[in-house]
Amino acid sequence: MPQEHFEEGDEEEEAADSIGELPSKGAPPATSQTVRRKRQPNPNFSPISASGYFEQATQVSVPASGLDFRVYYTPPKFAEGTVMICHHGAGWSGLTFASFAKEVIAQSKAECGVLALDCRGHGKTFPIPNSNTDEGDLAIETLTSDLVNLISTVFPDVNAAPTLLLVGHSLGGSVVVRACPFLQERKYRITGVAVLDVVEEFTLEALPIMTSLLESRPEGFDSPETAVEWHVKTNAIRNVTSARISVPGIIVKNPSPSPTSPEYLWRTPLRSTAPYWTSWFTGLSSKFLSARTARLLVLAGTERLDKELMIGQMQGKFQLVVLAGVGHIVHEDDPTGLAETLVEFWRRNERVVAGIKKVGDL
Protein backbone atom coordinates (compact mmCIF):
# COMPACT_ATOMS: atom_id res chain seq x y z
CA MET A 1 0.00 0.00 0.00
CA PRO A 2 1.48 3.42 -0.90
CA GLN A 3 2.65 5.10 2.28
CA GLU A 4 0.91 8.39 1.65
CA HIS A 5 -0.74 10.44 4.34
CA PHE A 6 -3.49 13.00 3.96
CA GLU A 7 -2.28 15.24 1.18
CA GLU A 8 -2.01 18.94 1.75
CA GLY A 9 -5.42 20.44 1.19
CA ASP A 10 -7.11 17.10 1.85
CA GLU A 11 -8.33 18.26 5.23
CA GLU A 12 -10.26 21.02 3.52
CA GLU A 13 -11.34 18.72 0.70
CA GLU A 14 -12.48 15.95 3.02
CA ALA A 15 -14.41 18.53 4.97
CA ALA A 16 -16.23 19.38 1.76
CA ASP A 17 -16.78 15.83 0.45
CA SER A 18 -19.68 12.84 1.33
CA ILE A 19 -23.50 11.12 0.27
CA GLY A 20 -26.43 9.06 1.43
CA GLU A 21 -27.80 5.66 0.58
CA LEU A 22 -31.41 4.81 -0.10
CA PRO A 23 -33.13 6.97 2.54
CA SER A 24 -34.98 5.62 5.52
CA LYS A 25 -38.75 5.33 5.49
CA GLY A 26 -38.97 7.80 8.36
CA ALA A 27 -37.31 10.67 6.50
CA PRO A 28 -39.83 13.47 5.97
CA PRO A 29 -40.23 14.82 2.45
CA ALA A 30 -38.25 17.94 1.59
CA THR A 31 -39.78 20.50 -0.74
CA SER A 32 -38.05 22.35 -3.55
CA GLN A 33 -38.66 25.53 -1.56
CA THR A 34 -36.62 24.10 1.31
CA VAL A 35 -33.78 23.18 -1.05
CA ARG A 36 -33.57 26.54 -2.77
CA ARG A 37 -33.99 28.83 0.21
CA LYS A 38 -30.61 30.38 0.92
CA ARG A 39 -29.72 30.56 4.57
CA GLN A 40 -26.65 30.92 6.72
CA PRO A 41 -24.85 27.62 7.40
CA ASN A 42 -25.20 26.41 10.98
CA PRO A 43 -21.67 26.01 12.45
CA ASN A 44 -22.93 23.15 14.64
CA PHE A 45 -23.04 21.08 11.44
CA SER A 46 -19.75 22.24 9.91
CA PRO A 47 -17.60 19.55 8.23
CA ILE A 48 -14.91 17.69 10.16
CA SER A 49 -11.78 16.43 8.43
CA ALA A 50 -11.20 12.69 8.26
CA SER A 51 -7.47 13.22 8.88
CA GLY A 52 -7.99 12.46 12.57
CA TYR A 53 -9.73 9.19 11.75
CA PHE A 54 -7.54 7.59 9.06
CA GLU A 55 -3.76 7.79 8.72
CA GLN A 56 -3.80 7.85 4.94
CA ALA A 57 -6.03 9.15 2.18
CA THR A 58 -4.68 8.37 -1.25
CA GLN A 59 -5.62 7.56 -4.83
CA VAL A 60 -4.86 4.05 -6.04
CA SER A 61 -4.74 3.50 -9.80
CA VAL A 62 -6.27 0.15 -10.76
CA PRO A 63 -5.87 -0.34 -14.55
CA ALA A 64 -7.75 -3.67 -14.43
CA SER A 65 -10.88 -1.68 -13.51
CA GLY A 66 -9.93 1.50 -15.35
CA LEU A 67 -10.42 3.44 -12.12
CA ASP A 68 -8.49 5.71 -9.82
CA PHE A 69 -9.81 4.66 -6.40
CA ARG A 70 -9.91 6.88 -3.34
CA VAL A 71 -8.75 4.79 -0.39
CA TYR A 72 -8.73 5.66 3.32
CA TYR A 73 -6.36 3.51 5.31
CA THR A 74 -4.93 3.00 8.76
CA PRO A 75 -2.59 -0.01 8.65
CA PRO A 76 -2.19 -2.41 11.58
CA LYS A 77 0.82 -1.67 13.72
CA PHE A 78 2.03 -5.26 13.75
CA ALA A 79 3.27 -7.52 10.98
CA GLU A 80 0.73 -10.22 11.84
CA GLY A 81 -2.16 -7.79 11.98
CA THR A 82 -5.50 -7.96 10.20
CA VAL A 83 -7.10 -5.35 7.93
CA MET A 84 -10.84 -4.80 7.85
CA ILE A 85 -11.81 -4.00 4.25
CA CYS A 86 -14.91 -1.78 4.41
CA HIS A 87 -17.27 -1.33 1.45
CA HIS A 88 -20.02 1.30 1.75
CA GLY A 89 -23.60 1.11 0.49
CA ALA A 90 -25.18 2.84 -2.50
CA GLY A 91 -24.74 6.59 -2.41
CA TRP A 92 -22.25 6.74 0.45
CA SER A 93 -18.45 6.91 0.44
CA GLY A 94 -15.58 5.37 2.37
CA LEU A 95 -15.81 8.23 4.88
CA THR A 96 -18.96 6.64 6.29
CA PHE A 97 -16.58 4.26 8.12
CA ALA A 98 -14.34 7.00 9.60
CA SER A 99 -15.67 7.00 13.19
CA PHE A 100 -15.90 3.20 13.16
CA ALA A 101 -12.29 2.91 11.93
CA LYS A 102 -10.98 5.05 14.78
CA GLU A 103 -12.82 2.86 17.29
CA VAL A 104 -11.50 -0.38 15.75
CA ILE A 105 -7.91 0.87 15.96
CA ALA A 106 -8.37 1.85 19.61
CA GLN A 107 -10.21 -1.29 20.71
CA SER A 108 -7.87 -3.68 18.91
CA LYS A 109 -4.82 -1.79 20.17
CA ALA A 110 -3.90 -1.27 16.50
CA GLU A 111 -3.65 -5.01 15.81
CA CYS A 112 -6.47 -4.42 13.31
CA GLY A 113 -6.15 -1.89 10.53
CA VAL A 114 -9.03 -0.49 8.49
CA LEU A 115 -9.18 0.21 4.75
CA ALA A 116 -12.28 1.93 3.39
CA LEU A 117 -12.77 2.74 -0.28
CA ASP A 118 -14.97 4.90 -2.48
CA CYS A 119 -16.48 2.48 -4.97
CA ARG A 120 -17.16 3.13 -8.66
CA GLY A 121 -19.31 6.22 -9.24
CA HIS A 122 -18.95 7.38 -5.63
CA GLY A 123 -16.85 9.82 -3.63
CA LYS A 124 -13.43 10.58 -5.11
CA THR A 125 -13.14 7.47 -7.27
CA PHE A 126 -13.09 8.38 -10.95
CA PRO A 127 -12.20 6.70 -14.25
CA ILE A 128 -8.55 6.78 -15.27
CA PRO A 129 -8.21 9.43 -18.01
CA ASN A 130 -8.65 7.97 -21.52
CA SER A 131 -9.72 4.60 -20.11
CA ASN A 132 -13.27 4.74 -21.53
CA THR A 133 -14.48 3.34 -18.20
CA ASP A 134 -18.19 3.73 -17.48
CA GLU A 135 -18.42 4.87 -13.86
CA GLY A 136 -22.17 4.45 -14.08
CA ASP A 137 -21.82 0.68 -14.55
CA LEU A 138 -22.89 -0.43 -11.07
CA ALA A 139 -23.69 -4.05 -11.93
CA ILE A 140 -22.95 -6.28 -8.95
CA GLU A 141 -20.43 -8.28 -11.01
CA THR A 142 -18.60 -5.08 -11.91
CA LEU A 143 -18.48 -3.83 -8.31
CA THR A 144 -17.28 -7.24 -7.13
CA SER A 145 -14.53 -7.29 -9.74
CA ASP A 146 -13.55 -3.74 -8.75
CA LEU A 147 -13.06 -4.74 -5.11
CA VAL A 148 -11.00 -7.82 -6.00
CA ASN A 149 -8.86 -5.76 -8.38
CA LEU A 150 -8.31 -3.03 -5.80
CA ILE A 151 -7.25 -5.45 -3.07
CA SER A 152 -4.91 -7.20 -5.52
CA THR A 153 -3.35 -3.81 -6.32
CA VAL A 154 -3.03 -2.62 -2.72
CA PHE A 155 -1.67 -5.99 -1.51
CA PRO A 156 0.03 -7.46 -4.62
CA ASP A 157 2.10 -10.04 -2.70
CA VAL A 158 -0.39 -12.54 -1.32
CA ASN A 159 2.23 -14.10 0.94
CA ALA A 160 3.04 -10.75 2.54
CA ALA A 161 -0.55 -9.50 2.64
CA PRO A 162 -2.30 -9.17 5.99
CA THR A 163 -5.26 -11.34 6.91
CA LEU A 164 -8.45 -9.67 5.66
CA LEU A 165 -11.83 -9.29 7.32
CA LEU A 166 -14.43 -8.16 4.78
CA VAL A 167 -17.09 -5.72 6.02
CA GLY A 168 -19.93 -4.44 3.84
CA HIS A 169 -22.93 -2.22 4.51
CA SER A 170 -26.15 -2.83 2.53
CA LEU A 171 -25.03 -2.97 -1.15
CA GLY A 172 -21.48 -3.27 0.19
CA GLY A 173 -22.54 -6.44 2.01
CA SER A 174 -23.49 -8.01 -1.30
CA VAL A 175 -20.16 -6.96 -2.80
CA VAL A 176 -17.95 -8.38 -0.03
CA VAL A 177 -19.88 -11.67 0.12
CA ARG A 178 -19.42 -12.16 -3.63
CA ALA A 179 -15.78 -11.03 -3.55
CA CYS A 180 -14.82 -13.46 -0.79
CA PRO A 181 -14.44 -16.65 -2.92
CA PHE A 182 -12.56 -14.77 -5.66
CA LEU A 183 -10.06 -13.45 -3.12
CA GLN A 184 -9.68 -16.92 -1.63
CA GLU A 185 -8.99 -18.30 -5.11
CA ARG A 186 -6.11 -15.80 -5.27
CA LYS A 187 -4.91 -17.23 -1.92
CA TYR A 188 -5.71 -14.23 0.28
CA ARG A 189 -6.41 -15.19 3.88
CA ILE A 190 -9.98 -14.20 4.75
CA THR A 191 -10.73 -14.47 8.46
CA GLY A 192 -14.38 -13.52 8.13
CA VAL A 193 -17.12 -11.66 6.29
CA ALA A 194 -19.46 -9.24 8.05
CA VAL A 195 -22.69 -7.93 6.50
CA LEU A 196 -24.28 -4.80 7.96
CA ASP A 197 -28.06 -4.34 7.97
CA VAL A 198 -29.19 -6.05 4.80
CA VAL A 199 -31.41 -9.13 4.46
CA GLU A 200 -32.24 -10.30 0.95
CA GLU A 201 -35.99 -10.92 1.25
CA PHE A 202 -36.88 -7.73 3.10
CA THR A 203 -34.63 -5.55 0.97
CA LEU A 204 -36.15 -6.88 -2.26
CA GLU A 205 -39.64 -6.33 -0.85
CA ALA A 206 -38.80 -2.69 -0.08
CA LEU A 207 -37.35 -1.85 -3.51
CA PRO A 208 -40.67 -0.85 -5.16
CA ILE A 209 -41.09 2.06 -2.73
CA MET A 210 -37.52 3.33 -3.13
CA THR A 211 -38.30 5.50 -6.15
CA SER A 212 -40.92 7.45 -4.20
CA LEU A 213 -38.55 7.77 -1.26
CA LEU A 214 -35.88 9.18 -3.56
CA GLU A 215 -38.38 11.69 -4.89
CA SER A 216 -38.71 13.03 -1.36
CA ARG A 217 -35.01 13.86 -1.13
CA PRO A 218 -33.81 17.40 -1.77
CA GLU A 219 -32.31 18.05 -5.20
CA GLY A 220 -29.25 19.37 -3.42
CA PHE A 221 -28.09 21.72 -0.70
CA ASP A 222 -26.88 25.28 -0.29
CA SER A 223 -23.82 24.28 1.75
CA PRO A 224 -22.14 21.23 3.29
CA GLU A 225 -23.57 22.37 6.63
CA THR A 226 -27.15 22.21 5.36
CA ALA A 227 -26.46 18.75 3.90
CA VAL A 228 -25.20 17.52 7.27
CA GLU A 229 -28.12 19.14 9.05
CA TRP A 230 -30.65 17.46 6.73
CA HIS A 231 -29.16 14.01 7.33
CA VAL A 232 -29.19 14.53 11.10
CA LYS A 233 -32.67 16.07 11.35
CA THR A 234 -34.27 13.38 9.16
CA ASN A 235 -32.57 10.70 11.31
CA ALA A 236 -30.76 9.34 8.26
CA ILE A 237 -27.68 9.57 10.50
CA ARG A 238 -28.13 9.78 14.27
CA ASN A 239 -24.54 10.63 15.15
CA VAL A 240 -23.78 14.32 14.50
CA THR A 241 -20.00 13.92 14.67
CA SER A 242 -19.97 11.07 12.16
CA ALA A 243 -22.34 12.96 9.83
CA ARG A 244 -20.01 15.96 9.86
CA ILE A 245 -17.24 13.68 8.58
CA SER A 246 -19.14 11.56 6.07
CA VAL A 247 -21.85 13.72 4.51
CA PRO A 248 -19.61 16.33 2.82
CA GLY A 249 -18.05 13.50 0.78
CA ILE A 250 -21.35 12.54 -0.86
CA ILE A 251 -22.08 15.95 -2.36
CA VAL A 252 -20.27 17.93 -5.03
CA LYS A 253 -20.28 21.55 -6.17
CA ASN A 254 -23.02 22.29 -8.69
CA PRO A 255 -21.17 22.86 -12.01
CA SER A 256 -23.97 25.14 -13.22
CA PRO A 257 -25.37 26.98 -10.20
CA SER A 258 -28.20 29.48 -10.60
CA PRO A 259 -30.42 31.53 -8.28
CA THR A 260 -33.01 28.75 -8.41
CA SER A 261 -30.67 25.77 -8.02
CA PRO A 262 -28.69 24.48 -5.02
CA GLU A 263 -24.97 25.09 -4.65
CA TYR A 264 -24.26 21.40 -4.02
CA LEU A 265 -25.64 18.28 -5.71
CA TRP A 266 -25.53 14.59 -4.83
CA ARG A 267 -22.31 12.95 -6.04
CA THR A 268 -24.19 9.77 -7.00
CA PRO A 269 -27.62 10.11 -8.69
CA LEU A 270 -29.34 7.16 -7.04
CA ARG A 271 -32.39 7.24 -9.31
CA SER A 272 -30.18 6.21 -12.22
CA THR A 273 -29.06 3.10 -10.31
CA ALA A 274 -32.61 1.66 -10.18
CA PRO A 275 -31.99 -0.93 -12.97
CA TYR A 276 -29.37 -2.57 -10.72
CA TRP A 277 -31.28 -2.74 -7.43
CA THR A 278 -32.78 -6.21 -7.78
CA SER A 279 -29.53 -7.82 -8.95
CA TRP A 280 -27.61 -6.27 -6.06
CA PHE A 281 -29.48 -8.30 -3.46
CA THR A 282 -30.83 -11.39 -5.24
CA GLY A 283 -29.03 -14.50 -3.99
CA LEU A 284 -27.36 -12.69 -1.09
CA SER A 285 -28.56 -15.07 1.64
CA SER A 286 -27.34 -18.25 -0.07
CA LYS A 287 -23.99 -16.69 -0.98
CA PHE A 288 -23.52 -15.42 2.58
CA LEU A 289 -24.28 -18.84 4.07
CA SER A 290 -21.95 -20.61 1.63
CA ALA A 291 -18.96 -18.32 2.27
CA ARG A 292 -15.98 -20.46 3.30
CA THR A 293 -15.07 -18.31 6.28
CA ALA A 294 -16.60 -17.07 9.53
CA ARG A 295 -19.84 -15.13 8.98
CA LEU A 296 -21.40 -12.26 10.90
CA LEU A 297 -24.71 -10.48 10.27
CA VAL A 298 -25.37 -7.21 12.11
CA LEU A 299 -28.91 -5.83 12.03
CA ALA A 300 -30.34 -2.54 13.24
CA GLY A 301 -32.86 -2.67 16.03
CA THR A 302 -34.88 -5.73 15.12
CA GLU A 303 -34.18 -9.33 14.14
CA ARG A 304 -35.72 -9.80 10.69
CA LEU A 305 -34.38 -12.89 8.96
CA ASP A 306 -35.69 -14.46 5.79
CA LYS A 307 -36.38 -18.21 5.75
CA GLU A 308 -32.95 -19.14 4.42
CA LEU A 309 -31.14 -17.14 7.09
CA MET A 310 -33.48 -18.41 9.81
CA ILE A 311 -32.58 -22.00 8.94
CA GLY A 312 -28.90 -21.05 8.74
CA GLN A 313 -29.04 -19.44 12.17
CA MET A 314 -30.64 -22.52 13.71
CA GLN A 315 -27.85 -24.58 12.18
CA GLY A 316 -25.24 -22.26 13.69
CA LYS A 317 -23.89 -21.16 10.32
CA PHE A 318 -23.38 -17.53 11.28
CA GLN A 319 -23.26 -15.14 14.20
CA LEU A 320 -26.16 -12.68 14.49
CA VAL A 321 -25.93 -9.39 16.40
CA VAL A 322 -28.78 -6.90 16.72
CA LEU A 323 -27.73 -3.38 17.74
CA ALA A 324 -30.25 -1.29 19.65
CA GLY A 325 -30.86 2.43 19.16
CA VAL A 326 -29.48 2.63 15.63
CA GLY A 327 -30.89 3.17 12.16
CA HIS A 328 -29.82 1.70 8.85
CA ILE A 329 -26.41 3.40 8.97
CA VAL A 330 -25.36 1.29 11.95
CA HIS A 331 -21.64 2.02 11.64
CA GLU A 332 -22.22 5.77 11.91
CA ASP A 333 -24.99 5.70 14.49
CA ASP A 334 -23.03 3.53 16.94
CA PRO A 335 -19.40 3.21 15.80
CA THR A 336 -18.28 2.18 19.30
CA GLY A 337 -20.81 -0.64 19.63
CA LEU A 338 -20.18 -1.93 16.12
CA ALA A 339 -16.41 -1.82 16.63
CA GLU A 340 -16.81 -3.87 19.82
CA THR A 341 -18.82 -6.44 17.85
CA LEU A 342 -16.34 -6.62 14.96
CA VAL A 343 -13.23 -6.71 17.14
CA GLU A 344 -14.74 -9.50 19.25
CA PHE A 345 -15.67 -11.37 16.04
CA TRP A 346 -12.11 -10.91 14.75
CA ARG A 347 -10.54 -12.10 18.02
CA ARG A 348 -12.74 -15.17 18.11
CA ASN A 349 -12.02 -16.19 14.54
CA GLU A 350 -8.50 -14.99 13.87
CA ARG A 351 -7.04 -16.28 17.12
CA VAL A 352 -9.11 -19.41 17.34
CA VAL A 353 -7.76 -22.04 19.73
CA ALA A 354 -7.01 -25.45 18.25
CA GLY A 355 -10.08 -27.65 18.48
CA ILE A 356 -12.56 -24.76 18.75
CA LYS A 357 -14.60 -24.13 15.64
CA LYS A 358 -14.88 -20.73 14.00
CA VAL A 359 -18.30 -19.11 13.76
CA GLY A 360 -20.11 -20.80 10.88
CA ASP A 361 -17.86 -23.89 10.79
CA LEU A 362 -19.74 -27.17 10.70
* Alpha carbons 165 and 196: distance in angstroms, whole number: 13
Instruction: Give, for 220, the enclosing helix (H) or strand (E).
Output: strand 220-221
* Active-site entry in 17, 146, 197, 333: 197
Cα–Cα dist 276/1, whole Å: 31
HSE on the CB side for 153, CA within 13 Å? 21
CB 87 within 8 A of CB 62: no
Identify the helix (H) or strand (E) that includes residue 168: strand 163-169
Q: Is 361 helix (H, G, I), strand (E, B) or coil?
A: coil
Give 12-45 as a DSSP string: HHHTT-B---SPPTTPPP--HHHHH---PPPGGG
Which residue out of 170, 174, 223, 246 is catalytically annotated? 170
Q: Is 51 a catalytic residue?
A: no
Residue 357 is given by DSSP the state P
197 carries an active-site annotation? yes
CB of 234 closer than 8 Å to CB of 323:
no
> Among residues 328, 331, 333, 334, which one is catalytic?
328
Q: Are 262 and 216 in contact (CB under 8 A)?
A: no
CA-wise closest residue to 20 among 280, 159, 227, 297: 227
170 among known catalytic residues: yes
- Catalytic positions are 170, 197, 328
